[in-house]
Amino acid sequence: MVRITEDLVRKRAEHNECQISTLEEISLHQQDIERLEHLDKWCRDLKILYLQSNLIPKIENVSRLKKLEYINLALNNIEKIENLEGCESLKKLDLTVNFVGELTSVESLKDLYNFKELFLTGNPCADFEHYREFVIATLPQLQWLDGVEIEKSERIKAIQNLPFIRGYILEQQARYKLKRAKEKAEALEKLKQKSKDCEGADGDGNNKENKPGYDGRWYTDINDSDTQDKVQETNKENEKEKSHEEKVDDFWKETSTYSPESRLEVHNHLKELKEKENKKEDKDVKKERKLFAEDGRPFNVNEPKVDFTLTEDGENIFLDVAIFKHMDTSLLDCDVQPNFVRVTLKGKMLQLALSEEVNGDASVAKRSQTTGHLLVTMPKVKPILKPKPLKDVQQNPPKEEKDQTKSPINFLEVDSSARKCVDLTSIVSDNQTKLTGTLPFGTRSIKREAPERENSSDFVDDPDVPPLI
């Protein structure tokens, strides 16, 4: 049974900073509430109250709401208009699609001088003959009924015919009460039968009397010939037993009267189906996959079932994952740890253990623009150092091992006096030596002192003139 709790009211009062004492409007629709309570004590300043689509059977505990102007109780199980006399500010009441069959209960709204609008569409009383005339004549302050404005001429005629109309209403109301008493008795009998079936069923929902070895009184010997025949018949009946889906279809196809009891039955049926689905989902939930062993070793996991290659050389380890070419890169995630690499594709994990420790900070993940593959390059923490390959001994034998039988190579030498062309190799060095007095870099320099030039004949040495540096 769903009750109105303080936590529920505070949750629905978020627009009022979760303060319920000064709350003026609250919506508690579609909460499967089965009783109207506590609001007249917690929310005394309420002006608008939404309670549609619940299972409330009675209007109660609202007489202290002196500021209440509008209350919506559509799609509930209310059968009578009552306990609203204290709501002196009430202007509008919505009882659409309820089970109000006692039409004379509208007389309880007669003293509400602010009451202007009433909705009774979808109630049994709305099908009564002279229903509209009776309501208009009973509530002279009413201006709208079921969304239709009341005209003055219509009100005058209704008031004039009220003494005759009231008799018809009372007769129809009495017939409806007898009908409701019959519906209640049938619903009670059906509920008893259902509880009896539940008591006679085992944990799997099967009837015990259909079990082999059960004769209705005590367990008998199933090896007896009569019992074996009964078992065979029972097995045949069980084979013909309907599945759960067929039972659900039969429930919805079953004809029933529209009453508060049938509405509760449908609600309970849907609740049972939801509970069964939740249990089934709990059973179907897969156990969490273990990614590491007890000693910390990472497991190899390939949830997306993609192709990959893991190769290495002396310095790096390479992972090539065959990702779909047109897959958005935002759906990928790569995590490189010292001893494993993990690639997540659309929430599914590819985890591979590495043979050597790698440097995660220096690792690089790139995606191919042609194939869409993901290439992860992971440098090793301790790369293998290999020497450079030696040259072939046969191709380059040492000088000592050369064949001495061969004749020595004679170079053609020309006398230096026979050179007629300029020696280009000494141009730069000669010029540099002349200019700076030193040899080029890399050669042994010979320091030369430049000779001093003699003074001219007319030179006069003036001691006041500083020397030139």
Residue 428: the pLDDT is: 56
pLDDT, tens digit, for every residue of 374-422?
999 999 888 766 666 665 545 555 555 555 555 666 665 655 655 556 5
Residues of the chain with pLDDT under 50: 203-204, 212-220, 222, 239, 393
CB 25 within 8 A of CB 46: yes
Query: What gap in Å lies between CA 41 and CA 29, rounded to an integer?
Result: 20
Residue 15: the pLDDT is: 85
Contacts of 144 (CB under 8 A, 6+ apart): 116, 117, 118, 150
Tally of residues, the chain: 469
Residue 320: the pLDDT is: 92
CB 338 within 8 A of CB 381: yes
pTM of the model: 0.53
Calculate the average pLDDT of the chain: 79
pLDDT, tens digit, for every residue of 263-313?
888 888 788 877 877 777 666 555 667 888 888 888 898 988 889 999 988
Residue 218: the pLDDT is: 45
pLDDT, tens digit, for every residue of 213-244?
444 444 445 455 555 565 566 555 554 555 55
Query: What gap in Å lies between CA 382 and CA 273, rounded to an integer?
Result: 61
